[in-house]
C-alpha cells in the first residue's frame, strides 16, 4: 500500500526521509533560495505592471520561472520540493507570476488551494472548478498548508491585487427604483395619468400652493380607497391629454363611465359611505364635464344639484377636505349660473363670512394670506358675484310675469326686488377693492399692457420676483372680475346698448386686466368668465387685439376645450355685430338692445352653434 493510500505525510527526516527509505529511493532536498526583493521605481510602475497582468492573463509567467516575489516578515514561505514544480510564496504582494486563471493550462487544484481563501474570492470569477487531481496529491497535506497559510496571512495587509482587480459589478437591486405613483396602479398608462394630474393639471386650477397643492393634499389621498374618485381622476387627466393630442391607451370616456357607475353604487349605500369621497368624485366629474362638454345639456347642473343635496343634509364641515370641496362646489354653482342664466342653487354667503382657504401647512402670515386657493383675491368679491348671478333669472321671471299678464302686485314685487338688488350690487362693486398684502403695490395695468404691445413684456416680468409676479397676476385676475361684473350688470340686467360708455369703459378695463394677468404669467385659473364677458362687447381694434392675445395665452397655458369654444363664440359675435353695422341696421339693433332683447347675443350664437359653455 502506498503512502498516499495510507494518507501518510513525509516526515522530512534528514539525510533521508522514511518514505524514500522504505522505497529505496535517493532523497534530495532542494536548496533554500535566498529571498529577493523587487525594486519598485514608483507606485505607478507597480500599477502599470499590474494592469498589464490583468489585461494579459493568457500570457502569465509560469510559476518559478521569473523573479521571486518579495514578502515581509509576516509572510509565509514554503520551499519543499514539489514534484509538479509549483513553488508557492505568499506575502504582502502578488505579482504576475502568482495570478491564476481557470482558463489557463496547466491549471490544477493544488495551485488554487494554495492561495489564501480571502484572495480566491477576488481572483476566481467562478464558484467551482472541475480539475483532474494528480496521482500523488495528498489532500491532508494540502489542507494543512492551506489552513496554515490562511491563519498566517490573516494579519497581513491587503495585496496590491486588491487595488487593480476589476471593480465589482453593482447589484441591480441598488439601481432599481420603484415607479412613481406605483401605489395607485400597476399599469404604466394609469400611473402616467396620475402624474399628469399631480404635476400639470392640479397646478392649472388653483391660485395658491406655496406649501402644497390642495388637490394633491386633500383629493388625491381619497382615491386610494375610492375607485370612483380614482376613475374620475383618470377621466379628467385623460381628457386633458386627449385635447392636447396625447393618446394614453384608455379613453377618458371609459374612465368617466366607470366613475359614474361607481358613484351610483356609493349613493345607493346611503349612510355607509364617506361624504368626502362622494363630493370629491362629483367635483372631479364636474371638472371633466366642463372640460369636454360639446352639446347643450344640463349635466353639470345635475351634478351640482346632487352635490348640494349631500352638503345640505350634512352638518357644517370642519375638516380641511370637506371645506375645500364645498368651496369648489360653491364656486362652480355661481359660474354655472352665470353661464346658463339660471339662479344659483346655493344661498349667497353673508358679507365678511367667506374667508380665504389656504393649502395645508401654509404660514399664518405671508404675502398670500389674503389669497384663496380657488378664488384668489376675489374672496370678498365672491358674495357680490353670487348675488349678481341670480339677477338674470329674477329678470326673466319679471319679464315672464309681464308677458303673461299676471297680477300687477306680483309684477311690482318682482320689479322692486330686481331694482333694489341691482342697485345694491352696483354700489358694492364700486366700493370693493381687493385686500392687498403689505409692501405690495400693483403696477398700473395700462402701463403693463403698453409694455407688452411694445414687445417688452419680459421687462415687466423680470423686474419682479416670481412671488411678486404671481401676486400681480392674482390681483389683475380679481380686478378683471370686478369690471366684467359691471359689464354683466349694465349689459345683461340693465339692458344698456353695446356702445354705452359705461359698457365700453368697463369692458376695456376688464380686457386690460386680463391681458396683464397673462403678461405676468401667473395663475390664469377661472379667468375665462371675465375675459369672455368683456371680449363679447369689444368694439375697437385695440380691445379686440387685447382679447385675442389673452385668449391665445390662456388656451396655451390651460389647454382646455371650453376656452377654445368660448373664443369661437366671441369671434362669431364680432362677425354678426360687424355685419349689422355694415347693413346699416345699427339703429334698429340699438333699439332692440335697449329693450333688453339682444343684450346676450352670445347666447343666441351659442344656441345656433349647438354648444354650451361653462366658464370654469
222-260: pLDDT as tens digits: 999 999 999 999 999 999 999 999 988 899 999 999 999
Count CB-CB contacts under 10 A for residue 486: 23
Give the containing element (helix H, strand E) for 23. helix 18-23
Q: What Rg do the C-alpha atoms of the chain give, in angstroms? A: 43
Residue 102: pLDDT band by 50, 70, 90 thresholds? Answer: very low
Q: How far is CA 364 from CA 354, 355, 369, in A?
A: 17, 13, 7
What average pLDDT does the segment 114-125 reach? 41
CB of 275 within 8 A of CB of 283?
no
Site of grid cell 404671481: 470
Q: How far is CA 423 from CA 384, 427, 505, in A?
A: 12, 6, 19
3-state class (DSSP) for residue 81: coil
What average pLDDT does the segment 56-77 reach? 41
Tens-place pLDDT, residues 164-192: 445 555 555 555 677 888 889 999 999 99
CB of 215 within 8 A of CB of 280?
no
Grid cell in block for residue 327: 368651496
Phi, psi of 90 (to 5 degrees): -120, 135
Of 339, 214, 329, 209, residue with least CA distance to 281: 329
Average confidence score pLDDT of the chain: 78
Paired with 77 in beta bridges are 89
Phi, psi of 355 (to 5 degrees): -105, 150
CB of 269 within 8 A of CB of 300?
no
The pTM for the full model equals 0.70
Of 383, 381, 417, residue with least CA distance to 397: 417
Q: How many residues does the chain have?
A: 616
Q: Please give the angle made by the CA atoms of 14, 18 and 23, to the nearest 5 degrees.
A: 120
Could you tell me whether strands 89-90 and 76-77 are parallel, antiparallel, or unpaired per DSSP bridges?
A: antiparallel
Q: Where does residue 428 rank: exposed (0-12), middle (13-18), buried (19+ CB within 10 A)? A: middle
Judged by phi (left if over 0) then psi (alpha if -120 to 50, else beta), residue 584 lies in left
- Write out the DSSP string of 475-490: HHHHHHHHHHHHHHII
What average pLDDT does the segment 573-583 reach? 86
Residue 454: pLDDT band by 50, 70, 90 thresholds? Answer: very low
Count CB-CB contacts under 10 A for residue 427: 11
CB of 244 within 8 A of CB of 269?
no
Share of the chain above pLDDT 70, in %: 68
Range with the poorest average pLDDT among 106-115, 224-233, 481-490, 516-525: 106-115
Q: How far is CA 401 from CA 340, 407, 472, 493, in A?
A: 20, 8, 46, 16
pLDDT value for 452: 56
Range with the poorest average pLDDT among 30-39, 375-384, 398-407, 490-499: 30-39
Amino acid at each position: 500500500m502506498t503512502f498516499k493510500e495510507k494518507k501518510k505525510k513525509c516526515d522530512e527526516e534528514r539525510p533521508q526521509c522514511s518514505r524514500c527509505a522504505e522505497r529505496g529511493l535517493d532523497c534530495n532536498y532542494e536548496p533554500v533560495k535566498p529571498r529577493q526583493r523587487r525594486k519598485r521605481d514608483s507606485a505607478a510602475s507597480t500599477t502599470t505592471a499590474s494592469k498589464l497582468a490583468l489585461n494579459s492573463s493568457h500570457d502569465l509567467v509560469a510559476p518559478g520561472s521569473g523573479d521571486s516575489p518579495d514578502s515581509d516578515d509576516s509572510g509565509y514561505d514554503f520551499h519543499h520540493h514539489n514534484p509538479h514544480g509549483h513553488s508557492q510564496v505568499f506575502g504582502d504582494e502578488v505579482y504576475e507570476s502568482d495570478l491564476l486563471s481557470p482558463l489557463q493550462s496547466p491549471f490544477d487544484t493544488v495551485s488554487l488551494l494554495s492561495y489564501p481563501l480571502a484572495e480566491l474570492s477576488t481572483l476566481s470569477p467562478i464558484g467551482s472548478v472541475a480539475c483532474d487531481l494528480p496521482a500523488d496529491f495528498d489532500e491532508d497535506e494540502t489542507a494543512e498548508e492551506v489552513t496554515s497559510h490562511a491563519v498566517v496571512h490573516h494579519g497581513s495587509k491587503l495585496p496590491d491585487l486588491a487595488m487593480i482587480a476589476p471593480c465589482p459589478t453593482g447589484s441591480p437591486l441598488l439601481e432599481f427604483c420603484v415607479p412613481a405613483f406605483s401605489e395607485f396602479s400597476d399599469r404604466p398608462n394609469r400611473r402616467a395619468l396620475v402624474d399628469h394630474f399631480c404635476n400639470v393639471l392640479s397646478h392649472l386650477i388653483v391660485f395658491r400652493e406655496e406649501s402644497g397643492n390642495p388637490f394633491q393634499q386633500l383629493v388625491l389621498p381619497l382615491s386610494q380607497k375610492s375607485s370612483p374618485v380614482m376613475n374620475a381622476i383618470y377621466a379628467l387627466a385623460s381628457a386633458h391629454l386627449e385635447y392636447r393630442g396625447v393618446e394614453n391607451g384608455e379613453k377618458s370616456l371609459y374612465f368617466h363611465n366607470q366613475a359614474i357607475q361607481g358613484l351610483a353604487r356609493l349613493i345607493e349605500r346611503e349612510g355607509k359611505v364617506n361624504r368626502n369621497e362622494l363630493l370629491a368624485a362629483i367635483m372631479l366629474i364636474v371638472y371633466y364635464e366642463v372640460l369636454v362638454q360639446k352639446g347643450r345639456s344640463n349635466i353639470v347642473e345635475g351634478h351640482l344639484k346632487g352635490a348640494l343635496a349631500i352638503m345640505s343634509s350634512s352638518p357644517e364641515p370642519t375638516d380641511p377636505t370637506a371645506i375645500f370641496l364645498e368651496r369648489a362646489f360653491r364656486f362652480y354653482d355661481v359660474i354655472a349660473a352665470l353661464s346658463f342664466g339660471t339662479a344659483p342653487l346655493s344661498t349667497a354667503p353673508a358679507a365678511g363670512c367667506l374667508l380665504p382657504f389656504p393649502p395645508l401647512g401654509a404660514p399664518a402670515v405671508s404675502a398670500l394670506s389674503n389669497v384663496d386657493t380657488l378664488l384668489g383675491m376675489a374672496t370678498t368679491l365672491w358674495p357680490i358675484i353670487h348675488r349678481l348671478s341670480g339677477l338674470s333669472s329674477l329678470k326673466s321671471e319679471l319679464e315672464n310675469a309681464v308677458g303673461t299678464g299676471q297680477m300687477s302686485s306680483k309684477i311690482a314685487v318682482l320689479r322692486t326686488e330686481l331694482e333694489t338688488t341691482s342697485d345694491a350690487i352696483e354700489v358694492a362693486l364700486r366700493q370693493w377693492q381687493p385686500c392687498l398684502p403689505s409692501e405690495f403695490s400693483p403696477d398700473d395695468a395700462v402701463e403693463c399692457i403698453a409694455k407688452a404691445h411694445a414687445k417688452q413684456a419680459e421687462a415687466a416680468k423680470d423686474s419682479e420676483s416670481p412671488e411678486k409676479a404671481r401676486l400681480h397676476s392674482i390681483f389683475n385676475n380679481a380686478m378683471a372680475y370686478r369690471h366684467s361684473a359691471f359689464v354683466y350688470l349694465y349689459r345683461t340686467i340693465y339692458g344698456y346698448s353695446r356702445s354705452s360708455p359705461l359698457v365700453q369703459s368697463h369692458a376695456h378695463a376688464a380686457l386690460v386686466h386680463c391681458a396683464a394677468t397673462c403678461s405676468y404669467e401667473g395663475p390664469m385659473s377661472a379667468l375665462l368668465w371675465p375675459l369672455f364677458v368683456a371680449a363679447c362687447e369689444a368694439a375697437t381694434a385695440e380691445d379686440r387685439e387685447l382679447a385675442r392675445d389673452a385668449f391665445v395665452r390662456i388656451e396655451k397655458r390651460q389647454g382646455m376645450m371650453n376656452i377654445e369654444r368660448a373664443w369661437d363664440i366671441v369671434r362669431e359675435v364680432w362677425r354678426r355685430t360687424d355685419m349689422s353695422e355694415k347693413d346699416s341696421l345699427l339703429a334698429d339693433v340699438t333699439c332692440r338692445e335697449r329693450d333688453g332683447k339682444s343684450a346676450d347675443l352670445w347666447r343666441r350664437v351659442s344656441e345656433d352653434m349647438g354648444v354650451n359653455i361653462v366658464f370654469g
